[in-house]
Amino acid sequence: MDTIFALASAQGKAGVAVIRVSGPQAHQAALQLSGSSLPRQGTTLRVLKDQFGNPLDEALVLLFSGPHSFTGENTVEFQVHGSISVISAVLQSLSEIDGLRIAEPGEFTRRALENGKLDLAQVEGLADLIDAETESQRKQAQTLLSGGLGVLAERWRRDLIRAASLIEVTIDFADEDVPVDVTPEVSGLLSGIQADLQKEAEGVGIAERIRHGFEVAIVGAPNVGKSTLLNMLAGREAAITSEYAGTTRDVIEVRMDLAGLPVTLLDTAGLRDTDDHVENIGISLARKRAESADLRVFLVEKGEDLTIEMRDGDIRLLPKADVRENSEIAVSGKTGQGVDYLISHITRVLRDRSAGAGVASHARHRETLNLANERLKNAQTILLQGPEYYDIATEEMRSAIRSLEMLVGRVGVEDLLDEIFSSFCLGK
């Protein structure tokens, strides 16, 4: 197997940069650059030199012996000064050592998967953690990375193996009197697993919203202050505002962190009847985005008909609180009046919805969970048909077990790996 290396920290100038090397020649490569003996495990300070003995940098060298490393292989990390020239010189020196090559995107993590240090769900959790922007995203990714889904899958797998074993005992002793009817216990085990699978599958939708962000659309007629409110919430001039109706024609998006939740605010075109062809396109887009948004904020006058039906969690407020005498349920993007209430409402609704998220957080997880659940439904139906069909029921249980193994990447996921690891950087 090749020994690979790459910059593991971010590109560009920094105080410290980390260069990672992993593979059978990792320790030998570190010895070549440092020019003196090194411990098999631990940390040491060394002056790194090129092949001609010229100093490159003074570096902290961290050595890990496999399998006690991230990849499960012998690994070295050089913590060097984060100068672009230093990083380039060290990488160049590593490339000149026989048997070493630059890592491909995600190759360190792929080796961790292949060496049993991570399961596939943990790999996805690591990718999510790297991309996390808010506290809720970080917590969700950490749960997946820590092996939470793998623990659940293993528990379900053990229960399925027991259920299948009980049925197989009945089949093996079909010609003898078996004193105990195992069907109630098997059915109970399957029902418990099905309930868990369904709960996790149903929670994926919310978990995906946490990963990608909730959408909150600001909806109303022209000139009610939608763009001004968006600018107030964003803390910057994200949308053009004017006294002329129809100024906003496209959907303006602003990414925010509300109490740890990722939220994208949408400023939409004012809803009205118009002969302006371009504005009509904007209004159609506004309706479409508002319909698909997770939550809508309606800025409308009392008695004004809504052209979009309100849903649970949506909020209706009077616009332009700054020009009203009674502004208890009004909001103003100009003065900030009512904005705290609005943010509190949005946060509460989205936090309540987030409570329904489970450990599974990817569409792949949902598909695999649903497939396993379908197999178990078939097994339950077949069990009711009598002992002569028990062998078919057992095969359905085995199929469910294989689905759970696919969930954590033990079998049948080779075609997914290139796509998953393509999103990783070189040093990960």
pLDDT at 427 over 80: no
pLDDT score at 152: 94
Domain ranges, residue 291: 225-301+311-342
In a domain, 238, yes or no: yes
* Residue of 364, 344, 347, 343 whose CA lies nearest to 355: 347
Please report the DSSP string for 173-198 in residue order.
TTTS--SS--HHHHHHHHHHHHHHHH
Q: What is the pLDDT of residue 226?
A: 82
Of the pLDDT bands very low, low, confident and very high (cuts 50, 70, 90), residue 148 is: very high
Q: What pLDDT does residue 246 have?
A: 44
Distance of CA 131 to the CA centre of its chain: 8
Give the whole-angstrom CA distance, residue 415 versus residue 405.
Answer: 15
Count of Cβ atoms closer than 10 Å to residue 226 Cβ = 29
Q: What is the pTM of this model?
A: 0.80
Average the pLDDT over 140-151 and give the result.
Answer: 93
Q: Show Cβ contacts of residue 220 under 8 Å, excluding neighbours closer than 6 positions.
A: 226, 270, 271, 298, 299, 300, 319
- Enumerate the known binding-site residues for (6S)-5-formyl-5,6,7,8-tetrahydrofolate: 20, 77, 117, 428
Residue 86 resides in a domain: yes
Write down the pLDDT at residue 277. Answer: 64
Residue stretches of the annotated binding site for Mg(2+): 227, 248
Summarize pLDDT for 212-241 with one digit per residue, the tens: 999 999 888 887 888 888 888 877 665 544
pLDDT, residue 242, reads 40
User: 């159609």: which residue's tokens?
Assistant: 284
Single out the residue in 112, 137, 164 at which a domain terminates: 112
Q: Are 268 and 251 in contact (CB under 8 A)?
A: yes
CATH of the domain at 296: 3.40.50.300
- What integer pLDDT is reported at residue 245 of this predicted model? 42
Does residue 258 sit within a domain?
yes
User: Is 275 part of any domain?
Assistant: yes
Which of the listed residues 112, 141, 160 is the one where a domain comes to its end? Answer: 112
Q: List, as residue ranges, the binding site for GTP.
A: 223-228, 242-248, 267-270
pLDDT in the model for residue 336: 85
Q: What is the pLDDT of residues 272-281, one digit of tens each?
A: 556 566 666 7
Binding site: which residues?
20, 77, 117, 223-228, 242-248, 267-270, 428
- Start-to-end CA distance of the chain, whole Å, equals 18
Residue 44 maps to which CATH number? 3.30.1360.120
Question: Rounded to 5 degrees, what are φ and ψ at 81?
Answer: -65, 140
| H helical segments located in 242-338 | 277-292
Q: How many Å apart are CA 260 and CA 249, to the nearest integer?
A: 30
Is residue 92 in some structural domain? yes
Per-residue tokens: 261: 């939740």
Question: 249 falls in which pLDDT band (50, 70, 90)?
Answer: very low
Q: Assess whether pLDDT exceeds 70 at residue 64.
A: yes
Residue 53 lies in a domain: yes
Residue 410 has pLDDT above 90, yes or no: no
* Last residue in a domain, options 97, 112, 127: 112
The residue written with tokens 């990783």 in the block is: 424
For residue 124, tell me if it sits in a domain: no
Number of domains in the chain: 2
Q: Is residue 253 part of a domain?
A: yes
pLDDT in tens, 289-323: 888 899 999 988 887 777 788 889 999 988 888 77
